[in-house]
Amino acid sequence: MESAYPGMRVYLANNLMMAYNQAEAAQPVFAFVEDGFTKLPEFEMMMALFSAIDTRWVSVMDTQGATPARKSSPLLDVGAGIFELTKADHPSQFAQYFDMMVNAPRRSPRTAARATASGPAAAAGGSRKLILIGSSTGGVEALRSILVGFPFDCPPTLIVQHTGKNFGSGLVSLLDRICPARVRAAEDGIPLEPGYVYIAAGQRRHMGLSSRKPLRLRMKEGPDISGHTPSVDALFTSAVPYGKDVVATILTGMGQDGARGLLDLRKAGAKTFAQDEKSSVVYGMPRVAWDIGAAQQQVPLARMASTLLQASRA
- As annotated, the active-site residues are 136, 162, 257
Alpha-carbon distance of 44 to 204, in angstroms, equals 21
User: Quick count: other Cβ atoms within 10 Å of Cβ 2?
Assistant: 8
Nearest to 171 by CA among 195, 142, 129: 142
Alpha-carbon distance of 147 to 181, in angstroms, equals 8
Close Cβ partners of 261 (under 8 Å, ≥ 6 residues apart)? 134, 232, 233, 234, 235, 236, 237, 240
Nearest to 288 by CA among 252, 239, 247: 252
For residues 231 and 206, is the Cβ–Cβ distance under 8 A? yes
Any idea what DSSP says for residue 243?
G
| Type of residue numbered 114 | R
Nearest to 183 by CA among 210, 143, 212, 138: 143
3-state DSSP assignment of residue 52:
helix
Alpha-carbon distance of 205 to 229, in angstroms, equals 6
Close Cβ partners of 305 (under 8 Å, ≥ 6 residues apart)? 145, 146, 147, 148, 149, 150
Alpha-carbon distance of 88 to 101, in angstroms, equals 20
Helix, strand, coil % over all residues of the chain, rounded to 5: 35, 20, 45
Residue length of the chain:
314
